């Protein structure tokens, strides 16, 4: 694979998601101003990272575990811990588990991950599912976390995603190399994920808007 080809270029994700950046940024700018809501959002991110680590563990348990796979697993678990710890710090209370009460848009987030996993597995098969699901999810995670990091910096919130982003970028490069030069398939799967992400984010944004409306009454 040519070193000049990046996952972003191959998937066309950045170009195809430009219209989504403004509404996502606006939502994040709103939520970081509400510490209690921000904590629930971060707990949702913790849940998604936990689901990622759990998926790696379950899908690879009957296969030869490589050092790279174990490293990926441990880093995803650490990211789940990172978001949980800072959610509790920012929210000022314990957020044990991932419940309807302490996790923003819990069910839509679960549905997003589950449908993405099932759809990609159906397309590429069980044997190839791990690197492909990981690649597509890492594309979205890096895209979202870069915007989130910028919003945090501009808002003066004492939270940095710099180290986490560096690890996600490395995961992205690793999975891209493992999946090989199947650019058309990557574009197809990335487009599928974008459709699921849009539906999920609409639920997430509506949830936050409803909370603000209720608070104003």
204/45 Cα distance (integer angstroms): 12
Mean residue pLDDT of the chain comes to 90
Contacts of residue 215, defined as CB under 8 A and 6 or more positions apart, other chains included, come to: none
Binned at pLDDT 50, 70 and 90, residue 210 comes out as low
83/161 Cα distance (integer angstroms): 10
φ and ψ of 5, to 5 deg: -90, 125
| Overall average pLDDT of the 186-198 stretch | 95
167/75 Cα distance (integer angstroms): 8
186/168 Cα distance (integer angstroms): 18
Please say whether the dihedral angle defined by the alpha carbons of residues 198, 199, 205 and 206, taken in this order, is positive or negative. positive
Lowest-confidence range among 71-75, 96-100, 142-146, 172-176? 71-75
Instruction: Please report, for the chain, how many H helices and E strands are present, in that order.
Output: 9, 0
Angle at 123 between CA 115 and CA 174, to 5 degrees: 85
């Amino acid at each position: 694979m040519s070193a000049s080809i990046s996952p972003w270029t191959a998937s066309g994700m950045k170009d195809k998601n430009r219209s989504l950046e403004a509404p996502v940024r606006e939502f994040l700018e709103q939520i970081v101003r509400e510490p209690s809501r921000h904590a629930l959002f971060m707990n949702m991110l913790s849940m998604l990272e936990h689901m990622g680590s759990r998926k790696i563990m379950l899908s690879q348990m009957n296969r030869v575990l490589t050092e790279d796979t174990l490293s990926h697993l441990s880093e995803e678990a650490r990211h789940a811990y990172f978001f949980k710890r800072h959610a509790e710090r920012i929210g000022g209370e314990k957020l044990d588990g991932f419940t309807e009460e302490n996790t923003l848009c819990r069910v839509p987030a679960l549905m997003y991950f589950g449908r993405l996993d099932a759809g990609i597995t159906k397309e590429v098969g069980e044997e190839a599912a791990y690197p492909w699901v990981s690649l597509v999810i890492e594309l979205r995670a890096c895209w979202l976390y870069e915007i989130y990091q910028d919003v945090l910096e501009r808002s003066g919130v004492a939270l940095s995603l710099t180290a986490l982003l560096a690890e996600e970028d490395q995961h992205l490069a690793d999975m891209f190399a493992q999946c090989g030069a199947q650019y058309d398939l990557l574009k197809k799967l990335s487009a599928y994920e974008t459709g699921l992400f849009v539906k999920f984010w609409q639920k997430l944004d509506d949830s936050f808007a409803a909370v603000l409306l209720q608070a104003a009454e």
